[in-house]
Amino acid sequence: MRSPSCPHNAHRHSLRSAFTLIELLVVITIIAVLIALLLPAVQQAREASRRTQCKNNLHQLGLGLHNHHSAYDAFPSTISGTIDGVSVFHGWGAQILPYMDQSPLSGIYDFRQRNNNAVNRTAVETPLSFHVCPSVPGETRRNFRFVTGAAGWGAASSDYMGVSSISTNQYTNGFVATPRPTNTDGVFLFSSRPGTPGRKIKDVIDGTSNTMMVCESAGRSHIYRLGNMVGNCDQSMLTATAAVGNANCVTISSWAEANLGALRGSLSDGTDTRGPCMVNCTNNFQIYSFHEGSANILMVDGSVRSLSENVSNDIVAGLITIEGYEVLGEF
């Protein structure tokens, strides 16, 4: 009879241990390979979910805008002027709050005062989920050029911008080949006095399914170019000079501000305010998203479309104008 401590038994025990270690290494290797293969698929699935939520946000905004139209027979516009001797300024985002299940927030927003009056601070600082695209990196953003100074404060940002027109520089510099129409206006009026209605659906001569109303301009109030943040609109901007503030912050970029503008182009690197790129080069008054290859836009009919970053500028221009009589191709 061999002793349990026999060298032969010990040798067999060590062999069994060696085989177990090899098997463990094989399993670990297989798991690592599977993770490497599955991770891109998981990331793609997550981005698909974020893109869908981004589209849903635009659908919600569209419903709010159309409910406002049903109530007032017009879309909201920027209110700028005097009410009872008080200077006021209010954007479309504040005006549709009652139609976005935000009656409590609308109740504390005082339309008799300017949007940047301290009485409106609590409302204006409130982030709204339907104004935030989940594909944008980072935490809650604010426009810290809204109320500047040592006691200043920031307004909660919006990743969606109302379309008021197209920059005429795009025609002047030949970045849009089609002739410049007489009317280059978009759906939103940039400024109208209190009591003056905004655009009506009947004003959209080019057709509600051929005209965009709101576009992604994501990542604001920071300035982004080609996916990189080049301007950090943080609290230090409260006391920065105007030049530094403009270099780091996208103006009128919160939901409570005018939050609209003339869409313009840029160079391919996102610099300048005119150029051949009109989609996904910069979020500084341009259609811009964090979705690969495209950006979402809300049409006047309430539908949401995906706009390729390679789309023709002629099509982009045609989508912006309400009375340009352009013939749009597929996009």
Q: What is the pLDDT of residues 8-43, one digit of tens each?
A: 554 455 445 556 878 778 888 888 888 877 777 667
Sequence-distant (≥ 6) Cβ neighbours of residue 60 within 8 angstroms: 100, 130
Radius of gyration (C-alpha) of the chain in whole angstroms: 27
Structural tokens at position 263:
């869409």
Model confidence at 95: pLDDT above 70: yes
> How much is the mean pLDDT over the chain?
91
Residue 209 domain-assigned? yes
The share of the chain scoring above pLDDT 70, in percent, equals: 93
What's 131's DSSP letter?
G
Residue 309 domain-assigned? yes
Cis bond upstream, residue 221 (ω within 30) = yes
Give the Cα separation of 19 and 184 in Å (integer).
76
pLDDT at 48: 84
Sequence-distant (≥ 6) Cβ neighbours of residue 27 within 8 angstroms: none
Domain containing 86 equals 53-320
Residue with tokens 């670990």: 28
Q: pLDDT for 99-114, tens place per residue?
A: 999 999 999 999 999 9
What's 223's DSSP letter?
E
pLDDT at 1: 46
Nearest to 66 by CA among 134, 58, 105, 324: 58
Give the burial class of 22: count Cβ atoms within 10 A of its Cβ; 0-12 exposed, 13-18 middle, 19 or more buried.
Answer: exposed
Give the Cα separation of 100 and 86 in Å (integer).
27
Residue with tokens 């789309």: 311
Element spanning 41, H or E: helix 7-72
Decide the pairing of beta strands 160-166 and 260-263.
Answer: parallel
Give the Cα separation of 239 and 78 in Å (integer).
27
Q: pLDDT for 148-196, tens place per residue?
A: 999 999 999 999 999 999 999 999 999 999 999 999 999 998 777 777 7
Residue 25 domain-assigned? no
Residue 13 domain-assigned? no
- How many distinct structural domains can be found in the chain? 1
Provide mean pLDDT across the span 270-281. 95
Residue 64 domain-assigned? yes
Residue 44 domain-assigned? no
Residue 232 domain-assigned? yes
Contact (Cβ atoms closer than 8 angstroms) between residue 170 and residue 274:
yes
Task: Find the distance separating the first CA and the last CA of the chain, reported in whole Å.
Answer: 86
pLDDT at 277: 98
Residue 205 domain-assigned? yes
The share of the chain scoring above pLDDT 90, in percent, equals: 74
